[in-house]
Structure 1
């Protein structure tokens, strides 16, 4: 079963990082920090020559912006449209582009379509072939204050990442882009340039929280999947935080408590100081105010007291 192999792989990674010093947990590639237990320079090099099919689907998100949530939705949508039920478990083997050994790219060639890949990579580091083939790209963003708080807790719960002694320290690292996968704002600015391309859809964590059924329907339509309303509803029901959290031990094993914490909107108010809030407001203003993505993020609604 796909989930069994997924949890086994995670267990192996956790075992490998036991007892390592903080500085040994991270690796730098082209100036960007990555978790050393999951990422290898050879894989990044092999990624550049990855073969991409036109019907591939790529899920892209900065860390802690809803990757696992939308991964589950894509998973269920792919299962629902798959005609050959024997292929479903293969389709469900979601491939994190930057994780694992380079040999995996050879194995990927044998996967049946539609193949679904996920990544936290910056837009410019995604293989050029993804854009050239016009494969479907679904990009998920979350308001930067909640993303920062969720990322802080993720760092400190995850044995594969160094412990950050305080929220204040993490906040400064987040603002400077000195965290794995670098700067949230650099990611956002890069995707803002692609907002109008028809093979790219940008959806936000917050709009999905407000209307999950509508979000699932929108994603299905973007992918060209025609499904009855009751199927859309059952996929949405299966993707609530409560439903996913209840099954997380089975789907994610030891990784479950690291991934599933609150899933709330507005949790940033529990950690941000007034000064930190103003610092991020100024950063948002400088980077994203007046942009299409900035407007889509509804910053004033979700990030102001």
Structure 2
């Protein structure tokens, strides 16, 4: 057993998941499904009273949209800018039990926090305190495929019977943390909010240096050109996957970091499924600023 506390926690959760009945792995709270092991009811209830700070650094993303990747990028930006250390671990506020949430009040600023929660279900104090939030969004086809593979590998979540069954649940929003489109539309409403910065997975893949520079600027962490370049080079997908074997363990690394590609959906979607997703995108996101940002025709057609 590893002595790395994060690895030990992950191994304990995975063992718990392997011993749990499939039907007990998810529960519904306020109409949305959550993983029982990672976000039990007591966490979610306590989280509603979580006290945000104006200078918190918040990262939000729908599952499998690049959250772990951006976690590492933001932590490096903070460490380099403040001269501190890169701290590994899950920053998801919904994973913190009530005691851990209380201990958060003792953590010195700036605190790095994250969530997969729908923005309307996040603690109201984040909006009240005007906390800055970085949101990463990935095209829905690649998100669905990545989420499927994650569910197959991670014993904490129910194992999908097949890709077709998972796709059906994804389209109806019957997956952990709810509907992709509901999340995207909720962030679309806040796209002009000066305290919200929305980046896409594809644009970060295309030009990571530019992304690092924009993110550091948004949060007010000054970096030199050389520092930006070093962080970008250190944060490519392959580099991240390699390092995650040390931070999270080899097994967890293979679950969290799979391919990191844009366009892998073509290896999974049937023609009918592709048309179904196209129609849903057309109905829900086409014509919105966020929809334009996702460049759906380029990456999903």
User: Comparing 276-285 with 9-18, which one deviates more in the overlay?
Assistant: 9-18
Instruction: Tell me the CA shift for residue 278 of structure 1.
Output: 0.5
1:275 aligns to 2:276 (yes or no) = no
Q: Structure 1: give runs of 5+ residues left out of the alignment.
A: none
1:205 aligns to 2:197 (yes or no) = no
Q: Which residue of 2 aligns with 1:109?
A: 105
Q: How far apart in 2 are the matches of 1:102 and 1:65?
A: 27
Helix, strand or coil for the counterpart of 2:4?
Answer: helix
CA distances 1:184-222 after superposition (whole Å, capped 9, x unpaired)? 000001110000011100000000010011111110111
RMSD over aligned Cα, in angstroms? 1.3
Q: Which residue of 2 aligns with 1:74?
A: 74
Task: Say if 1:66 and 1:141, in contact at 8 Å, map to a contact too.
Answer: yes
Helix, strand or coil for the counterpart of 1:58?
Answer: strand
Distance change in 2, residues 1:93/1:260 (3 Å): closer
Helix, strand or coil for the counterpart of 1:261?
Answer: coil
Q: How far apart in 2 are the matches of 1:71 and 1:170?
A: 26
Question: 1:24-173 residue pairs with structure 2 within 5 A?
Answer: 24-83=24-83, 85=84, 88=85, 92-173=88-169
Instruction: Tell me the CA shift for residue 92 of structure 1.
Output: 4.9
Q: Which residue of 1 aligns with 2:282?
A: 285
Instruction: Tell me the CA shift for residue 95 of structure 1.
Output: 2.3
Q: How far apart in 1 are the matches of 2:168 and 2:18?
A: 27
Q: How far apart in 2 are the matches of 1:19 and 1:198?
A: 45
Q: How far apart in 2 are the matches of 1:70 and 1:171?
A: 25
Q: Structure 2: give runs of 5+ residues left out of the alignment.
A: none
Q: How far apart in 2 are the matches of 1:93 and 1:188?
A: 26
1:225 aligns to 2:221 (yes or no) = yes
Instruction: Tell me the CA shift for residue 93 of structure 1.
Output: 5.0
Task: Say if 1:96 and 1:118, in contact at 8 Å, map to a contact too.
Answer: yes
Instruction: Tell me the CA shift for residue 78 of structure 1.
Output: 1.0
CA distances 1:89-129 after superposition (whole Å, capped 9, x unpaired)? 6x655521101311111110111111011100001101111
Task: Say if 1:57 and 1:116, in contact at 8 Å, map to a contact too.
Answer: yes
Q: Which residue of 2 aligns with 1:193?
A: 189
Q: How far apart in 1 are the matches of 2:125 and 2:276?
A: 37
User: Comparing 184-193 with 103-112, which one deviates more in the overlay?
Assistant: 103-112
Task: Say if 2:59 and 2:133, in contact at 8 Å, map to a contact too.
Answer: yes
Task: Say if 1:62 and 1:187, in contact at 8 Å, map to a contact too.
Answer: yes
Task: Say if 2:88 and 2:247, in contact at 8 Å, map to a contact too.
Answer: no
Q: How far apart in 2 are the matches of 1:205 and 1:95?
A: 19
Helix, strand or coil for the counterpart of 2:191?
Answer: coil
Q: How far apart in 2 are the matches of 1:19 and 1:182?
A: 25
Q: How far apart in 2 are the matches of 1:45 and 1:169?
A: 31
Instruction: Tell me the CA shift for residue 225 of structure 1.
Output: 1.1
Correspondent of 2:255 among 252, 258, 272: 258
Task: Say if 1:27 and 1:39, in contact at 8 Å, map to a contact too.
Answer: no
Structure 1 length normalisation: TM-score? 0.95
Q: How far apart in 2 are the matches of 1:207 and 1:196?
A: 19
Instruction: Tell me the CA shift for residue 35 of structure 1.
Output: 1.1
Task: Say if 1:40 and 1:100, in contact at 8 Å, map to a contact too.
Answer: no
Q: How far apart in 2 are the matches of 1:76 and 1:36?
A: 31
Distance change in 2, residues 1:27/1:261 (3 Å): same
Helix, strand or coil for the counterpart of 1:18?
Answer: helix
